[in-house]
């Protein structure tokens, strides 16, 4: 039985390692200082990099997190603590539906909501689109993690004369922190690689852009553009870009885990 | 420092089911009062009505009057204010698992806005002493989490946590039922000392425990209080036959 | 519920009753030996004394065991305490019967004389007291026990009368002093038996009513009980 379990784990991990290995193989050669610090060069010219896309992705993801994480956690808190009733069921249903909406449709919605209003593409619009995608995942995992907190813990707080909302934030949520963070990281990793929603919102940009009212480059967009192009040089850079994207995502998740572990006490420590 | 409790014509309901029928009790200050009775007799429901914890269950309601000292429990104060004067210790020890021992004890104060570090240190020290736990944890107050202690220590931690908010009454809902005999003995010893400062109401299904720690005992059956008297009387010559049948083990 | 406990209590009760029977028999035998000047009966009393002593040990051990292992409460606790006390009183009754038998054996050696004291009547009264006390234990009836308490006065008076009459006889006819003294001692032993019967009744009242009526405290202050309980 143990043998079967080990075998299935290996089978599951195999694609992950295969992808990573292949990316490294194809992309490592193209990663150099220039790649990481320069903007794309025009067609035909060798060299150039994805510096603006790397920064752009970080900006867009930051905006998405700033919008999506609080809303998602808030929804999760509502569902678990105050939503064990018909209203909660409605919210859950809507959340599940939203989760299933194709990412390109969400991109179009963000286009209608933000881009058409502002009359220009922007990182903000991209952030909004990604936030909409993050919220259902974060809400559901937060709800599940909070439900796992034993009722006895809440009762202990009530018994001390702590109000309900304070208990929810300072005790229940705090106890479920590590699980909630996992949910947030899951959502983050998922949207970090999304391309379709950014097509009509951030739109992409060859140059540096620090303004909120202009199209912004993003790694996923850049990889997409380069990959479907006919140029070998761009293909090479696409592989490099993909490798950088994966490394950034893994790095972000690892960093959060380390910070969280350092800040909380584990039982038995 | 403790105060008396008066309960008049208390009826409690969970939705349509009635759990308590016309309960009348006077609990004296600075004494330990035990509540005994078979499972499902309403003693836990009753004790939760004293600090309005039953309100955490949806569809629970109560009518009747409860006074703790001169405070009208249902009409004179909010539930959260009340619970700062009436502390509770639960059947299964429930320290906050992600907090250190210090933070656990200080939780009641910190969460209610109290921030003065020096005063907090004092209160934590005093409460852990009162709970007879200081010596065992004084070197790891900030390092160990509340959940890393043994069962008996966890329960004493919960007692310290309850005492830190300086209540006048301490309600204990079967505090020793999850503990081994030695831990139970330590806690019973503790109750004896705590009586001097607090009024204690303890629900227990262990009759010998009631006999050991409490001056007064009330016997509950099917939501009614059958008899309430001095503990010796209940255990040597109770007035009601139902009490006698329970106490001698003929049922329950 | 607690069937083993109930069984143990029942066994204890039976053992005590059996011992009561032995003690009652010993007193009756000793008194009969007196009126019939019968040596065989005296010897029987002396022989059976060891049975009574053995029973006392057994009952004490059993009661102790139940106390330690079953933590009886309320009426059951009172029952165990009452049993241990009644146990001790019954053993003393046995001792008194032996004392009477020894006096009778002494009297048999001496010439028979006519004494102005009706030991037989006293013996009947005392025997009735013992029997009624044991009955009140069997039935668990406080009223029967109360009746025994009242009979004690009668027996006390009989002993006092016997004392006066016998002392006068000794003064008037010094040659019968030994017999008179023996008779006096028998009267005193009977009065002690009556005392023990009284103690047994007080213990029964304690068990049934939860009232301590020793040394003539009133039983009226005890709360009325709805019905009697069987141990």
Look at B237 and C229 and tell me if their CB atoms are within 8 Å: no
Among residues B239, C186, A140, A135, the alpha carbon closest in space to that of B247 is found at B239
Mean local confidence (pLDDT), B148-158? 94
Among residues C21, C197, C30, the alpha carbon closest in space to that of C126 is found at C197
B181 in a domain, yes or no? yes
Mean local confidence (pLDDT), C148-165? 93
pLDDT tens sequence across C40-88: 999 999 999 999 999 999 999 999 999 988 888 889 999 999 999 999 9
Domain at A49-263: CATH code? 1.10.3720.10
pLDDT tens sequence across B162-208: 999 999 999 999 999 989 988 899 899 999 889 989 999 999 988 88
CB C229 within 8 A of CB C140: yes
Domain C3-216: homologous superfamily in CATH: Phosphate transport system protein phou homolog 2; domain 2 (1.20.58.220)
Strand-pair category, B224-230 with B216-221: antiparallel
Residues of chain B neighbouring A160 (CB-CB closer than 8 A) = 83-84, 87, 107-108, 111-112, 161-162, 165
Higher pLDDT, A231 or C98: C98
CB B195 within 8 A of CB B32: yes
B116 in a domain, yes or no? no
Distance of residue A92 Cα from the nearest chain B Cα, in angstroms = 21
A abuts B (3+ Cβ pairs < 8 Å): yes
**Using 50, 70 and 90 to split pLDDT, how confident is the model at B68?**
very high
Nearest to B208 among C1, C5, C71 (CB): C71
Look at B96 and A160 and tell me if their CB atoms are within 8 Å: no
Q: From residue B157, how far is each of B104, B145, B175, B186 by CA, in Å?
A: 8, 11, 12, 13
Which two structure tokens, joined as six digits, stand for C175? 């040659």
CB A178 within 8 A of CB A260: yes
Query: How much is the pLDDT for C228?
Result: 40
Q: Which residue of A has its CA nearest to B167?
A: A160
**Using 50, 70 and 90 to split pLDDT, how confident is the model at A203?**
confident
Maximum alpha-carbon separation in chain B: 56
Query: How much is the pLDDT for C217?
Result: 62
**Using 50, 70 and 90 to split pLDDT, how confident is the model at A263?**
low
- 3-class secondary structure, B240: coil
Size of interface B-C (CB pairs under 8 A): 39
Q: Which residue of B has its CA nearest to C227?
A: B241
pLDDT tens sequence across B237-248: 999 999 999 998
Query: How much is the pLDDT for C150?
Result: 92
As a whole number of angstroms, the distance between CA B178 and CA A214 comes to: 64
Look at B53 and A174 and tell me if their CB atoms are within 8 Å: no
Asked if residue A52 has pLDDT above 80, the reply is yes
Q: C200: which residues sit within 8 A by CB, 6+ positions away?
A: C86, C89, C90, C130, C133, C134, C137, C145, C148
Query: How much is the pLDDT for C219?
Result: 52
**Using 50, 70 and 90 to split pLDDT, how confident is the model at C218?**
low
Query: How much is the pLDDT for A26?
Result: 87
The proportion of chain B whose per-residue pLDDT surpasses 70, expressed as a percent, equals: 99
How many other CB atoms are found less than 10 A from the CB of residue B216? 21
B22 in a domain, yes or no? yes
User: Residue B208: which CATH number?
Assistant: 3.40.50.300
Higher pLDDT, B124 or A178: B124
Task: Name the DSSP letter for residue B145.
Answer: B
- 3-class secondary structure, B34: strand
Query: What is the total count of domains within chain B?
Result: 1
Which residue segment(s) compose the domain that B30 sits in?
Answer: 5-95+168-247
The proportion of chain B whose per-residue pLDDT surpasses 90, expressed as a percent, equals: 75
The model carries a pTM of 0.80
How many other CB atoms are found less than 10 A from the CB of residue C182? 21
Asked if residue A45 has pLDDT above 70, the reply is yes
Checking ipTM against 0.90, whether it exceeds it is yes
Mean local confidence (pLDDT), B21-46? 94
pLDDT tens sequence across A138-185: 999 999 999 999 999 999 999 999 999 999 999 999 999 989 999 999
Distance of residue A185 Cα from the nearest chain B Cα, in angstroms = 21
Phi and psi at B225, nearest 5°, equal: -90, 115
Query: How much is the pLDDT for C225?
Result: 43
Residue with tokens 């019954």: C90
Query: How much is the pLDDT for C1?
Result: 60
Least confident range from A18-22, A27-31, B148-152: namely A27-31
Average pLDDT, chain B: 92
CB B130 within 8 A of CB B191: no
Average pLDDT, chain A: 89
Interface test with C, best of B248, B250, B251 (most C CBs within 10 A): B248
Q: Is residue C52 within a helix (H) or strand (E), and if so which, with residue range?
A: helix C39-70
Asked if residue C221 has pLDDT above 80, the reply is no
B136 in a domain, yes or no? no
The three-state DSSP-derived secondary structure of chain A is CHHHHHHHHHHHHHHHHHHHHHHHHHHHHHCCHHHHHCCECCCCCCCECCHHHHHHHHHHHHHHHHHHHHHHHHHHHHHHHHCCCHHHHHHHHHHHHHHHCCHHHHHHHHHHHHHHHHCCCCHHHHHHHHHHHHHHHHHHHHHHHHHHCCHHHHHHHHHCCCCHHHHHHHHHHHHCHHHHHHHHHHHHHHHHCCCHHHHCCCECCCCCCCCCCCCECCHHHHHHHHHCCCCHHHHHHHHHHHHHHHHHHHHHHHHHHHHHHHHCCCCCC
Asked if residue A235 has pLDDT above 50, the reply is yes
């Amino acid at each position: 039985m143990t043998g079967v379990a080990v075998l299935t784990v290996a089978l599951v991990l195999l694609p992950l390692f295969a992808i990573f290995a292949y990316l490294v193989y194809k992309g490592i050669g193209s990663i150099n200082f220039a790649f990481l610090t320069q903007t794309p060069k025009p067609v035909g010219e060798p060299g150039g990099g994805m510096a603006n896309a790397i920064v752009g992705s970080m900006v867009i993801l930051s905006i998405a997190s700033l919008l999506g994480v609080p809303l998602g956690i808030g929804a999760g808190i509502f569902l678990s603590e105050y939503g064990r009733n018909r209203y909660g069921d409605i919210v859950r249903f809507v959340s599940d539906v939203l989760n299933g909406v194709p990412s390109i449709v969400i991109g179009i919605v963000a286009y209608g909501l933000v881009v058409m209003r502002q009359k220009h593409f922007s990182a903000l619009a991209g952030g909004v689109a990604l936030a909409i995608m993050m919220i259902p995942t974060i809400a559901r995992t937060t709800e599940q993690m909070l439900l796992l907190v034993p009722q006895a813990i809440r009762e202990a707080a009530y018994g001390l004369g702590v109000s309900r909302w304070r208990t929810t934030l300072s005790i229940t949520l705090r106890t479920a922190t590590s699980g909630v963070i996992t949910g947030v990281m899951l959502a983050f990793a998922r949207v970090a690689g999304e391309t379709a929603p950014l097509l009509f919102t951030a739109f992409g940009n060859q140059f540096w852009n620090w303004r909120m009212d202009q199209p912004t480059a993003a790694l996923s967009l850049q990889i997409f553009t380069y990959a479907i192009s006919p140029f070998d040089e761009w293909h090479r850079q696409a592989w490099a870009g993909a490798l950088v994207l994966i490394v950034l995502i893994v790095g972000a998740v690892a960093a959060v885990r380390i910070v969280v572990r350092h800040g909380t006490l584990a039982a038995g420590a | 420092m403790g105060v008396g409790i008066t309960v008049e014509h208390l009826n409690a309901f969970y939705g349509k089911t009635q759990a308590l029928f016309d309960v009348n009790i006077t609990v004296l200050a600075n004494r330990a009062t035990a509540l005994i009775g078979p499972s499902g007799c309403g003693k836990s429901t009753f004790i939760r009505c004293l600090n309005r914890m039953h309100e955490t269950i949806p569809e629970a309601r109560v009518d009747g009057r409860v006074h703790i000292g001169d405070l009208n429990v249902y009409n004179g104060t909010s539930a959260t204010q009340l619970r700062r004067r009436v502390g509770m210790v639960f059947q299964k020890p429930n320290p906050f698992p992600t907090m250190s021992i210090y933070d656990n004890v200080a939780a009641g104060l910190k969460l209610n806005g109290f921030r003065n570090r020096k005063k907090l240190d004092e209160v934590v020290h005093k409460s852990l002493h009162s709970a007879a736990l200081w010596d065992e944890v004084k070197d790891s107050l900030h390092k160990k989490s509340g959940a890393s202690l043994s069962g008996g220590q966890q329960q004493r931690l919960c007692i310290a946590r309850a005492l830190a908010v300086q209540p006048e009454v301490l309600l204990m809902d079967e505090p020793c039922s999850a503990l081994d005999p030695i831990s139970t003995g330590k806690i019973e010893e503790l109750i004896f000392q705590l009586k001097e400062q607090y009024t204690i109401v303890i629900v227990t299904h262990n009759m010998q425990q009631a006999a050991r720690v409490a001056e007064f005992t009330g016997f509950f059956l099917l939501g009614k209080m059958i008899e309430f008297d001095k503990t010796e009387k209940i255990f040597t010559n109770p007035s009601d036959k139902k009490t006698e049948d329970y106490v001698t083990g003929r049922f329950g | 519920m607690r069937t083993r406990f109930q069984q143990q209590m029942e066994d204890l009760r039976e053992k005590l009753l059996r011992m009561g029977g032995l003690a009652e028999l010993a007193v009756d035998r000793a008194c009969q030996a007196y009126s019939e000047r019968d040596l065989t009966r005296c010897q029987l009393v002396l022989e059976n004394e060891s049975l009574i002593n053995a029973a006392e040990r057994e009952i004490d051990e059993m009661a102790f065991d139940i106390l330690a292992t079953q933590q009886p409460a309320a009426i059951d606790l009172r029952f165990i305490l009452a049993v241990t006390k009644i146990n001790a009183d019954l053993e003393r009754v046995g001792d008194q019967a032996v004392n009477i038998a020894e006096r009778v054996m002494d009297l048999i050696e001496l010439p028979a004389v006519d004494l102005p004291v009706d030991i037989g009547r006293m013996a009947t009264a005392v025997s009735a007291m013992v029997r009624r006390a044991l009955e009140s234990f069997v039935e668990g009836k406080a009223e029967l026990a109360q009746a025994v308490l009242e009979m004690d006065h009668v027996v006390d008076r009989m002993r006092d009368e016997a004392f006066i009459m016998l002392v006068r006889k000794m003064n008037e006819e010094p040659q019968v002093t030994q017999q008179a003294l023996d008779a006096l001692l028998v009267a005193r032993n009977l009065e002690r038996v009556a005392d023990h019967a009284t103690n047994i009744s007080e213990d029964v009242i304690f068990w049934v009513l939860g009232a301590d009526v020793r040394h003539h405290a009133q039983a009226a202050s005890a709360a009325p009980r709805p019905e009697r309980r069987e141990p």
